[in-house]
Chains A and B, each alone.
Chain A
Amino acid sequence: MATIITRPETKFGKRVRRQEDPRLITGTATYVDDLKMPGMHHACIVRSPHGAAKIRNISTATAAAIPGVAAIFTGADIKNLGAVPCAASLPGLRVPHHHLLAQDRVYFVGHPVAVVVATDRYLARDAAEAIEVDYEPLPAVTDPEKAIAPGAPAVHPEWPDNVAFNFHQEGGDIAQAFRDADVVIKQRITSQRLIPTAMEARGVVAEWRAGEKSLTLYSSTQIPHLLRTLVAGILGMPENLLRVITPEVGGGFGSKLNVYAEEALMAFIARQINHPVKWVESRRENFAATTHGRGHVDYFELAAKRDGTMLGLKLKLIQDLGAYHQLLTPVIPTLSVLMMPGLYRFKNVSADIVGAFTNCVPTDAYRGAGRPEATHGVERMVDRLAAELKMDPAELRLKNFVQSHEFPYNTATGLAYDSGDYAKPLQKALAQVEYTKLRQEQEEARKTGKLMGIGISTYGEICAFGPSIALPAGGWESATVKIEPTGKVTVLTGASPHGQGEETTFAQIVADELGVEMNDVLVVHGDTAVVQYGIGTFGSRGTAVGGSALYCALQSLKEKLKKFGAMLLKSDNVTLVGGQCIDEKTGKSVGFGEMAVAAYHAKQLPPDTQPGLVATHFWEPPNFTFPFGAHIVVTDVDRDTGEVAIRRYVCVDDIGKIINPLIVDGQVHGGVAQGIGQALYEEAVYDDAGQLVTGELTDYALPKAHHMPYIESSHTETPSPVNPLGVKGVGEAGTIGCSPAVVNSVVDALAPLGVKHIDMPLTPEKIWKLIQQGAHA
């Protein structure tokens, strides 16, 4: 037995390059559209070209006569299957029956009407074109405020007011706060509809095995297990005969945190035609039929004292739901309400949500899901107040922050913020941009007529979803760790990462806990036949919740390893260090491999111990985590063109402990890019007749490399007490912190012209018009 003790360098906190990358950079990864099966057919979906219409007739004869066309399905064929599920339960919520295919009416452009199945992808498209649908177009309504105004066309005839729900929440005494106020600021603020645009659109392959009566569904999803449960329910088949496999997923951002009609349809069709069937969404379909995000019209009122003390915040929120509820559609704006107080000591808040049906594709989770909208509103309101009081916006924020000694801090919306030191990232960011100097420069620039802006946002977020009480399907996550007989380690995680890098971060955690090499660790996810039930990856929960489950499973496995170590060393006092078990008295040790072999050969077993080295842990978080941070953006606005140039982007994000700074940087950059997209470029536009005007990437402005500034990203580290890793989650931070900082900066630039607010996206046209008005004011 060896006596040399090796203590490998810890991997926690290291910039380790990713384990998943070799397959991705060589073109050898497998996404849904890369799957090929013998006898595989291809489906193409006929979709509504109208925002609202009655279906008079569907003629399939011409299409059916095309050689190679195997089947055509319309609404009548799926009438008795279950509906597309909505997991939300709000009091009084109106839930339209969401059939997999339209019945006698279509409700939005992109609404699926029929499915054509053919032996070849091109043939399926040809046949889809040959299907004749006779529509009687109806008036549509696409603007949520217009939808709830009297006389608007009814999206669902049974509910002529287009109101899906009303929701009220308040805390403290909002009336008193407004009575005590010296200053009241009112502002209408919108967070426009956005199209998530994962680079890989959705895709499904379904394979029916008649002999076993089992179905395998390959889908580009963030939630394989929930998808299995819910699709089994729609089809009325036993859940354990349905296997969901999530191959490589080319981005989700919330748009794949759902159960879609097409997933259930392909499962149904594979069984009907007894052949595997593939459906891959075109980009046009992706824009028209995959959930959108945001879609808020918010009316804020802020009450404050003349010295800047903020007393209360009121919100009337009109949520554009679209025509149906997808999985979480109505829940998303309730997250905005929870997030309303931001980082500030608002003792009194009141919010009313009106959920409005419109003739648009449903909205649902999109990176940040409700929290960017709230943060945008609050951070704009704080800037409006600062301007009104002629106070510095940084100073006003510092004055109103929850203080570091007040944690856990109970908010007026019923949350308990876990930990924080809100002034720290702001002060760090201010120092980094040299704020005082910048303000002086701005003063000089203004004298010469230049439009230079400095914008701050200090944001908080709710992350790491659960706890279970807060989620319809449970908020825990699961992990199984298997030490194989050869000493290799296999991790099965119920979280289903899709680009976030958990194959690497989880291997880092394992390497530290078990003392093995990272490349001896395999992280498996996204196969319901292999991995124990899990919830999925969304809401910045992958590492905070899934990683915590892994950590706990590792602890029980370490206990078991120690028992085998003690047995082999014939000692009752052993410690586990760097993958070796050491006898405290003699200094003798046994290696990881020896213990693994002993556990499986099982010639001898420690008392009350089973053979094998496998541990599973379902970890239930006691609370959310609450990351926070400060983003500062310096902009120059071109007077002649209205174009915004971001000169500097500085962000200091506190996401708790950091496991892999390289991956964290990537998450922040990507989040900021989506925030800048919302602030400056992106908007899903429907016209009044219900047409999606931004129906392709040619019309929807996604940020490109030359649109993005160089992001100066750094951190403060306030560990979360909620989980054993101390992490908070980083997936959404960049997006949530970004858009108000950009807009505050541009409004600041235009302040000399009397501009107090601009709604996103800040297109050159919009800004140019404001400059023209200001110049003539």
Chain B
Amino acid sequence: MKRKISVTINGIPHADEVEPRLLLIHYLREVAGLTGPHIGCETSICGACTVMLDGKAVKSCTMFAVQADGRSLLTIEGLAQNGALDPLQEAFWNEHALQCGYCTPGMIMTAKQLLADNPNPTEQEIRQGLEGNLCRCTGYQHIVNAVKSAAAKAGA
């Protein structure tokens, strides 16, 4: 039995009928057509599917789409404003914080949450803050540098 849900994604209202078992990540990718968030494990370990739900970073593979009914979502596609990259996107680019790019959308969303909670994190706090997101390419060092640099710019 399908259920009707209404969500706002990246500022745009969406209304769809979905199966109650549909995962939020599959709703975003296959129904809403937003393929920026990725699927890396479906067990909430890797964080590639991280999006913002009412301003909080969540792993969208461990939520049902129906649980997002009436709520507001932000995905990587909605981060740049009027063609201007978010400071974190810019920092990831400048610091070479990505290689294959698969973990990047989730990593940036988690970093966004991290800086919202703690605008001036130490290196250790950044590393701890990113522990829910796996990257197999970078060894994390450039990601840590990017978060540091975005924090420094915001504080400047």
Contact = CB atoms under 8 A, between A and B. Distances in A.
Nearest to A15: B96
Contact of B96 (A498, A665, A673, A708): A665
Interface in B1-44: 19, 21-22, 26, 29-30, 34-43
B127 A708 contact: yes
Contact of A662 (B41, B96, B103, B136): B96
A249 B100 CA distance: 7
Nearest to B41: A283
Interface string B29-72: 11000111111111101101000000000000000000000000
A251 B137 contact: yes
Contact of A702 (B36, B96, B136): B136
Nearest to B94: A17
Contacts of A498: 100
B42 A282 contact: yes
Given A25-B98, A499-B100, A704-B134, A665 B46 contact: no
Interface string B54-95: 000000000000000000000111011000010001001110
Interface stretch (A28-36, A67-75, A323-331): A28-36
Contacts of B38: 31, 33, 199-200, 250
Given A26-B36, A27-B37, A283 B43 contact: yes
A445 to B, nearest CB: 23
Contacts of A670: 99, 136-139
A122 B21 contact: yes
B42 A283 contact: yes
A672 B137 CA distance: 10
A673 B135 CA distance: 10
A169 B128 CA distance: 48
B89 A199 contact: no
Nearest to A702: B134
Contacts of B141: 665, 669, 708, 710-711
A33 B48 CA distance: 13
Interface in A103-127: 121-122
Interface string A670-706: 1111100000000000000000000011100011111
Contacts of A25: 76, 85, 89, 92-93, 98, 101, 104, 108
A290 B108 CA distance: 28
A29 B141 CA distance: 23
A341 B80 CA distance: 52
B153 to A, nearest CB: 16
A501 interface: yes
A24 interface: yes
Interface residues of A, number: 58
Interface of B is mostly: loop
A186 interface: no
A705 B93 CA distance: 19
A26 B77 contact: yes
Interface in A235-270: 248-251, 253
B144 A199 contact: no
A665 to B, nearest CB: 7
Contact of B39 (A33, A197, A702): A33
Interface string A28-48: 111101101000000000000
A31 B105 CA distance: 13
Given A25-B104, A283-B41, A704-B130, A666 B138 contact: yes
B126 interface: yes
Interface string A192-219: 0000011111000000000000000000
A696 B124 CA distance: 27
A706 B43 contact: no
A68 to B, nearest CB: 12
Contact of B35 (A27, A249, A696, A708): A27
A26 B76 contact: yes
A500 interface: yes
A18 interface: yes
Nearest to B100: A499
B140 A18 contact: no
Contacts of A26: 36, 76-77, 79-80, 85, 89
Contacts of A598: none
Contacts of B105: 27
A21 B142 CA distance: 14
A253 B137 CA distance: 9
A697 B46 contact: yes
A705 B135 CA distance: 8
B43 A698 contact: yes
Contacts of B34: 27
Counting chain B CB atoms within 10 Å of each CB, the highest count among A20, A27, A201, A710 belongs to A27
A666 B96 contact: yes
A256 to B, nearest CB: 11
Contacts of B123: 710
B139 A711 contact: yes
A197 B136 contact: yes
B40 A200 contact: yes
B130 A705 contact: yes
A22 interface: yes
Contacts of A632: none
A31 B143 CA distance: 22
Interface string A121-137: 11000000000000000
Contacts of B37: 27
Contacts of B39: 33, 280
A17 B94 CA distance: 6
A18 B100 contact: no
B104 A24 contact: yes
Contact of A251 (B80, B100, B127, B143): B100
B139 A672 contact: yes
Given A26-B89, A33-B39, A672-B139, A499 B21 contact: no
Contacts of B26: 121
A499 B99 contact: yes
Given A200-B38, A283-B41, A29 B101 contact: yes
A664 B43 CA distance: 32
Nearest to A22: B93
Contacts of B136: 197-199, 251, 253, 670, 673-674, 702
Interface in B114-148: 123-124, 126-128, 130-131, 133-144
A663 B96 contact: yes
Contacts of A282: 42
A710 B144 CA distance: 10
Nearest to B39: A33
Given A18-B93, A669-B139, A705-B143, A28 B36 contact: yes
B139 A17 contact: no
B99 A501 contact: yes
Contacts of B139: 669-673, 703, 708, 711, 734
A30 B40 contact: no
12 contacts: A21-B101, A24-B98, A31-B35, A199-B100, A498-B100, A662-B96, A663-B96, A665-B142, A696-B43, A697-B41, A705-B131, A705-B143
Interface of A: 17-18, 20-31, 33-34, 36, 121-122, 197-201, 248-251, 253, 280, 282-283, 498-501, 662-663, 665-666, 669-674, 696-698, 702-706, 708, 710-711, 734
Given A25-B98, A698-B43, 19 more contacts: A21-B101, A28-B36, A34-B35, A199-B48, A199-B135, A665-B96, A665-B141, A666-B138, A670-B137, A673-B136, A673-B138, A673-B140, A674-B136, A696-B43, A705-B126, A705-B135, A706-B124, A711-B139, A711-B141
